[in-house]
Structure 1
Amino acid sequence: MIQLKSVSVDNWYACTQLDVTEEQRKSFPAPVVYWIAESKVVTDFRPMAIYYDSDLVGFAVYSDKPDHEDNYWLLALMIDTKYQGRGYGREALRKLIDLMKESLNCKRIMIGHRPENGIAGNLYESLGFHSVSEGLIDGEVVRLLRCK
């Protein structure tokens, strides 16, 4: 069972040890330590540790403040290379969507991914995220989920 926990003094270092495959580094270029550091100065970023039972399996970051168009952003989602292919990313994304809908009462969630990351694109699309741009925005395909 997937659980989301805030990154804290107890798990921050373990989060920094999470990694993706060499190929995926092209799609997920910022390491976890970067996101944790940025969350200390960008105060609306919420870094989350993703657990399967007691095992730390991934990491995510979302914003708890809407942008100027009332969109909430899911900024990063990754599953450690040792735990990929088990459905943890899908379940974590579902949990993140539920968390954002319940705690933020958001109506729109945005997410981006590099165009070469077809696995992420397929996952996001399968959970209802639709492309909102013809081209790339800052090098990414941007997708929108309308929450009901």
Structure 2
Amino acid sequence: MNIDLQPVTIENWYACTQLKVKPEQLALFPASVVYWIAESKYASDFELRAIYSESLLVGFLVFCTKPDPDNNYWIPALMIDEKHQGKGYGKAALKTLIQLMSKGNSNGTRIMIGHRPDNQIAGTLYESLGFMQVSRELIDGEIIRLFQIGQA
């Protein structure tokens, strides 16, 4: 599967805003793409990417380009449009993102991602890629998972 993570630009931002999760997933992914685009204008370390398979826009993600004080790089958002879920795009996009985030980062760099406890599909996906649960306690209502660059 060929996945391309393209920057969100003036040419594709509106198409990105049209991406939607299934109605029953709104509680699992409450922030819309519009929210992330707006927040990125004020959070200087957010990088937005449109997820394409060939020339088809299938999803959207946000990652941090600077580490937090504990040297963790965060992925605040990953979503696949409702019409394209269950086809492997999320897994392929995460693999591509891990490669991108690994460039220039040494072994030992940590990538963090969270998901709501009810989002078992996300939990299973992240675990399949090597994201291990950090603690049993929820942080901001989410299960936090860690991927160590150089471990896989």
Asked whether the two chains share a fold, i.e. TM above 0.5, the reply is yes
Unaligned runs of 5+ in 2: none
**What SS does structure 1 have at the residue aligned with 2:76?**
strand
Residues 19-77 of structure 1, C-alpha deviation per residue, up to 9 Å, x if partnerless?
Answer: 00011111000000000110011010001000011010000000001001000001100
Aligned with 1:120 (options 119, 122, 125)? 122
Q: For residues 12 and 104 of structure 1, do their structure 2 counterparts lie closer, same or farther at Cα, with a shift above 3 Å needed?
A: farther
User: Hey, what does 1:56 align to over in structure 2?
Assistant: 57
Q: Distance in 1 between matches of 2:44 and 2:110?
A: 20
Where in structure 2 are the equivalents of 1:1-148 lying within 5 Å?
1-105=2-106, 107-148=109-150
Q: Distance in 1 between matches of 2:47 and 2:126?
A: 20
Taking structure 1 as the reference length, the TM-score comes to 0.97
Q: For residues 103 and 61 of structure 1, do their structure 2 counterparts lie closer, same or farther at Cα, with a shift above 3 Å needed?
A: farther
Q: Distance in 2 between matches of 1:8 and 1:133?
A: 37
Deviation at 1:114, TM superposition (A): 0.3
Q: For residues 15 and 139 of structure 1, do their structure 2 counterparts lie closer, same or farther at Cα, with a shift above 3 Å needed?
A: same
**What SS does structure 1 have at the residue aligned with 2:77?**
strand
Query: Are the aligned partners of 1:45 and 1:62 in contact in 2 as well (CA < 8 Å)?
Result: yes
Q: For residues 17 and 141 of structure 1, do their structure 2 counterparts lie closer, same or farther at Cα, with a shift above 3 Å needed?
A: same
* Structure 2 counterpart of 1:15, one-letter code: C
Deviation at 1:103, TM superposition (A): 4.8
* Structure 1 counterpart of 2:34, one-letter code: V
Q: Distance in 2 between matches of 1:112 and 1:144?
A: 9
Greater share of residues in helix: 1
Unaligned runs of 5+ in 1: none
* Structure 1 counterpart of 2:66, one-letter code: K
Question: Percent of counterpart pairs with the same letter?
Answer: 59
Q: For residues 68 and 140 of structure 1, do their structure 2 counterparts lie closer, same or farther at Cα, with a shift above 3 Å needed?
A: same
Q: Distance in 1 between matches of 2:76 and 2:102?
A: 16
Deviation at 1:89, TM superposition (A): 0.5
Residues 74-95 of structure 1, C-alpha deviation per residue, up to 9 Å, x if partnerless?
Answer: 1100000011111011000100
* Structure 1 counterpart of 2:149, one-letter code: C
